[in-house]
Each structure stands twice: as C-alpha cells, then as structure tokens.
Structure 1
Amino acid sequence: MMRFWLWRVLPALIGMMGALVAGTEYAVARPSRRTADVVYVPVTDTAYNATRHRLDVYAPKEKSATPRPVVVFIHGGSWNSGSKNFYSFIGRRLAKQGVVVVIINYRLAPQVRVPQMTDDCARAVAWTAAHIQDYGGDPQRLFVMGHSAGGGLAALLTADDALFRRWGLPRNPIKGAILDDPAGLDMYDYLQKMQYPNDEQYLVPFSKNPAVWKQTSALYHVTTHTPPFILFIGGETYPSISSSSARFRERLLALGHAPQYTVLPGKKHIPMVLQLYWQHNIIYRQLLDFVGS
C-alpha cells in the first residue's frame, strides 16, 4: 500500500519545496495568523500525550462579519509517522482564501492502534466544534480533510456517528469530507487479501482482528444520511488506493450520494499532497466551492 521510505523523506521534500517558493510563501503566509500547539485532550486524561494531543489553528487576519468555514486536516504517514508541523503550508494557503484551518496531531502506532487514533481525531474535531468560534470559524460549517492514512481517518469520522456520541456529542458535527488519495477506506478487504509485499506491517496499527479491520473502515459505515464527500485520486497512485477509492465511490452511489470524484492524471501518492503548496491547485478550487468559502 504505502512505502515507508517515501514517508521518511516527505519532510525533506516539503523543506526543499519551501525553499524553492520562499518568496511566494511569504506573500501567501502574511494574511494568516497561526495559534500553535493547542492542547485538545485534558492533561489530566489518562490517555494524554504531550506531543500528539496538540493542534494548530490557522485563521485569516482579515476580519469577517460572518464566521468562516472550517477545515480540520489530518496528516498521513502509514499510521505510524507524520506530524502537523509538516503541513503549515495547507493552513496558510486556505487561511489566505478565507477558511479557518485546524491541523492536528494524533497518536501513532506502535504505541496505539487505529481505534485509538480515530478517537484522538474525533476528540480534535469535538474540540474544534466547541472552540472554533473563538478563532472566527463557524462550527456549523465544519469539514474534515486528509491525505493517505489521514484520508481514511477523515472518511471514518464522517461516516461513523458513534465516534462522537462516545465523547458526548449528540450528533456528528462534520458537514463533509475532502479525501486526498485516501488509504484505509476498506482495510477489511485489504488485510484479508494480503496482496502486496510487507502487508503484514499493517497488522501493527490494525491488529490481527478482522472485526477491527471492518470497524475502522469507512466503507462499512456510510449510510444514506452520511455527509457528502469529494475525492481526489492520483492517476499513478498505488493500486490499492485507486481500487478501494473506486469501491468507496460505488458504495456511495448505491446509497444515493453523488460524490465528486476527480482522478488527476500522472500524479503519484506523495505528489498528491505536495501539490497543495500552490494556492490555486485544483483541490483548493473544488474545496472552496464545497465548503462555501
């Protein structure tokens, strides 16, 4: 599915791109303000992790008479790596365009498994729903976005309302999801087949229990009432991502949804997130219309 070495070099790739577009970066970043390392799990909680239970908020500097739409971004990294600190460019680009953005950390394997990661993400979204008005955001227009493993987590949060009832929310606050080359939409099927080299590595975050594989796969939670999705798939991404995304789309269509589904020719998996360095990227254009910015 994913290759670990690509995720190891991702921070370096982001740094190189930042240097190449340094002048543009300054111009784009100026209109936003960042509030860093906000704790979203109480420090008294037995699960609290001082590094992973933090998020950053990016908001436009320009005042608005009405609250702005909100996007919570969940990073990828094969469920065992990644950090919000790599993705400040997404927060800045979207804040520049009138969106309040929350970029989160969550706990990773092998310290925890995917159900605990999902709980972390749900708690971050719940924090956002409760507090984002303080940053100019509209909790009634709250969306989630993710790349790779983060895309799978974003899809699961959108589809599984029980994740929020567990934390005292009577309803799911998410109004829609933007999935960028998502991984893990159907790990139940993936881990039964074990078609690719080194697939056993995913038994660490997902366990050896098929019931957990299904529990943590968004495909098995979508209903006729699930909020809308937009999906972007790399034309040269991993076969497992393209096939599971196609099945996910088919499932949504069968339930009466009409998801936006865009295949970007020639794009591999990592470039699907690196392209978000550019403000007028096709993903941003469709996203802004989707969230009503």
Structure 2
Amino acid sequence: MTLRPFAAAFTAVAALSACAPVQVLNGLVPTDTYRFQGGIAYGNAPHQRLDVYQPLAIVSPVRGARPLVVFFFGGTWSSGDRASYRFVGEALAARGAAVVVPDYGLSPAFTYPAFVRDSALAVKWALDNADRLGADPKQVYVMGHSSGGYNAAMVALDARWLGEVGASPQQLAGWIGLAGPYDFLPIGDPQAQRAFRWPDTPRDSQPLAHVSAASPPALLMAASTDTLVDPDRNTRRMADALRAAGVPVEVRTFDNLSHVTLIAAFGKPLRWLGGPVLPPVMDFLGLGAVPSHR
C-alpha cells in the first residue's frame, strides 16, 4: 500500500472511531463498478425511498440469476441515511449481487414498530422487483448492521411484518446480521429508550423471541470485543437459538474489528483493517466463486 492511500485510510478510521458519519468512506470507493438508481419510492411517505446498486454486465454469478440483498443501516434507530452506505452497495454489487439500501423512519419522529414496518415494506418492494433488477426472487436476503441488523432480524424472524404487506419470511433465502441487537431488554441507552418508548416496550419486540424452525438460514458476524452491542448476549445467543430450532446458521467473529469498523471494513480503503468480512458474506450469498469487477 502506498503512503497516500494508507494515510487516507488511517484518517478515515480515525474519523469513524470519533463517530463521524460513515460517508467519509464514500469519497474513497470506486464509482465505476456498478449501476445506480437513486431515490426510488417504496411507499407513500417522504422518507420511504431506496437506492439500488446493480452489478455491471461483466459480473455474473456462476449459476442462475444473481441474489438481491436489502441492506439496513445502523444508528440506534435515530440517525443515518441510505446515501451514507454507498460503500456497502458498491462492495456487494461489484461482486455480483443486486443491492437495495432503503431509508426508514427514525426516532424520535418514528418509534417501534414504525421502522420495522418500513423495513418490511422495503423488502416487499425488493421481492416484487427482483426480476426487473436482474435478480432471482427466490434469492432475496436481508442484511443489516447494528440497529439495522435488528430490522433485518425482525423482518426475517417475526412473520407479522411481512405478513402485513402480503409477503412472508418464507420468501427470504436468508438473513445476515452484523453486530445486531437481538435481545436488549431492559433498555439502558437513551436513544434506544426513545425509539422503543421504554419502559412501555413489548417483549415481542425482541428478535430472539421469534426464532422458530421456519426461520431463514442466517449468517451472524460480530466483533469479539464490541463494547456497544454485546456479542455474547446477542450474536451468540441468537446463534444458539437458531441451532436449537434446527436452522442453519454460520457465525463469524473478528478480534481486530470494533462495532464500527466491522461495517467500515466493507469499504475498499479499510478492508485491510483486521478481518476478511466480505468473503463470508459472498459465500453465504452463493457468490464466493464470482470474481469482483475490480
């Protein structure tokens, strides 16, 4: 690595560690490795918009149609936006997956279960439009980081939300949780308290309560020393519950990553940080043998 890219990457890590917006990575990732459609409505509300990242024609899966991933960003259900996660859309699209990144209602204007309902509606849009995006409707996955991992888990595990929009978790090929909170009552974080109207938070708001033999296969990833979302209470316990129900689950933990850099390492400038985060995801999507466009 030359000095200039290393310095830029180091600066990005420092900024992310200081809780600067994750869009610091977007100026450092390629712009010519995917096709982009932005600001597509998936519902009638102003915030119900999504961006689509499609692979270039030269990137194609080994067999059949490509998978489609719906990615939900994190931010304690109170911050973040779809535009900040171009580095995630690019990383997956450059390797053969179609990617949908939706916005969803944020606290304090929106509280549970509004953001879960938005997430389900965005997934319904993806299921309905997969074929038009060159993806296989039977290979739709949900994926999220931190509070976005919660959204993904709830859509995948609690059939109420997709059921409300005329779909079902049975239509999902799997779900990917990155440092997601899956069992966090009682709530101590003030932002999360507002998002879930603590202490009036229903027990069935917790993803762990909805694991069953019908749950989709899962890939769970976490930083082993995560100080924001306890990987033992959340990732390990979710994996144990899925296994006990007979659901296929793979777990990857990373000793050299943190809660923030687990997702930041999807960006090209930071993939050297401390663990191959992309290969397990691409293997789970069935694209492990597909070369990147770059």
Query: Do Structure 1 and Structure 2 share a fold, with TM-score over 0.5?
Result: yes
Q: CA deviation at 1:93?
A: 1.4
In structure 1, the residue matched to 2:186 is 190
Distance 1:152 1:285 in 2: 22
Greater fraction helix: 1
Does the Cα contact within 8 Å between 1:7 and 1:81 map onto a contact in 2?
Answer: no
Structure 1: stretches of 5+ with no match in the other structure:
none
Shift of 1:161: 1.4
Structure 2 counterpart of 1:139, which letter? P
Alignment check: 8 A CA contact 1:7 1:77 kept: no
Q: Counterpart of 2:263 in 1: which secondary structure?
A: helix
Cα distance in structure 2, aligned partners of 1:268 and 1:171: 30
Q: Which residue pairs with 2:20 in the alignment?
A: 10
Secondary structure of the residue aligned to 2:68 is: strand
Kindly state the Cα deviation for residue 129 of structure 1 after the two structures are TM-superposed. Answer: 0.5
Deviations 1:75-104 (CA, angstroms, capped at 9, x unpaired) = 000110000111011111111111000011
SS of residue matched to 1:226: coil
* 1:238 partnered with 2:227: yes
C-alpha distance in 1, partners of 2:241/2:191? Answer: 27
User: How far apart are residue 209 of structure 1 and its match?
Assistant: 4.9
Taking structure 1 as reference, are residues 116 and 235 closer, same or farther at Cα in structure 2, changes over 3 Å only?
Answer: same
- Equivalences for residues 107-126 of structure 1 within 5 A: 107-126=105-124
For residues 111 and 210 of structure 1, what CA distance do their matches in structure 2 show? 17
TM-score norm. by structure 1 comes to 0.83
Q: SS of the residue aligned with 2:213?
A: coil
Q: How much identity, in percent, do the aligned residues show?
A: 27
Aligned equivalent of 2:290: none
* Structure 2 CA distance for aligned equivalents of residues 244 and 264 of structure 1: 15
What corresponds to 1:224 in structure 2?
A: 213
What residue number does 2:152 align with? 154
Question: Would the alpha carbon gap of residues 77 and 171 (structure 1) be closer, same or farther in structure 2, given more than 3 Å must change?
Answer: closer
Retained in 1: the 8 A contact 2:116–2:151?
yes
Moved over 6 A (4+): 5-8
Deviations 1:111-165 (A, max 9, x none): 1112010000000000010012111111110001100000111111110112111
Whether the 8 Å contact between 2:76 and 2:191 is mirrored in structure 1 is no
Cross-structure match for 2:278:
284
Does residue 31 of structure 1 match 2:27?
no
- How many residues in Structure 1 have an aligned counterpart in Structure 2? 265
Contact 1:145 1:177 in 2 (8 A): yes
Q: Contact conserved, 2:180 with 2:235, CA < 8 A, in 1?
A: yes
User: How does the TM-score come out when normalised to structure 2?
Assistant: 0.83
Contact 2:262 2:277 in 1 (8 A): no
- Tell me the distance in 2 between the aligned counterparts of 1:7 and 1:239: 13
Q: Closer, same or farther in 2 for the Cα pair 1:210/1:222, shift >3 Å?
A: farther
In the alignment, the residues of structure 1 paired with residue 83 and residue 26 of structure 2 have an alpha-carbon distance, to the nearest angstrom, of 13
Deviation at 1:246, TM superposition (A): 1.8
3-state SS, counterpart of residue 155 of structure 1:
helix
Gaps of 5+ in 2: 1-14, 288-294
Secondary structure at the counterpart of residue 178 of structure 2: strand
Residues 262 and 112 of structure 1, relative CA distance in 2, 3 Å threshold: same
Q: Find out whether 1:56 has 2:51 as its counterpart.
A: yes
Secondary structure at 2:101's aligned position in 1? strand
- Answer yes or no: is the 8 Å Cα contact 2:143–2:176 preserved in 1: yes
CA-to-partner distance for each residue in 1:37-70, whole Å, 9 max, x for gaps? 10000x3xxxx1x1x2100010012065942101
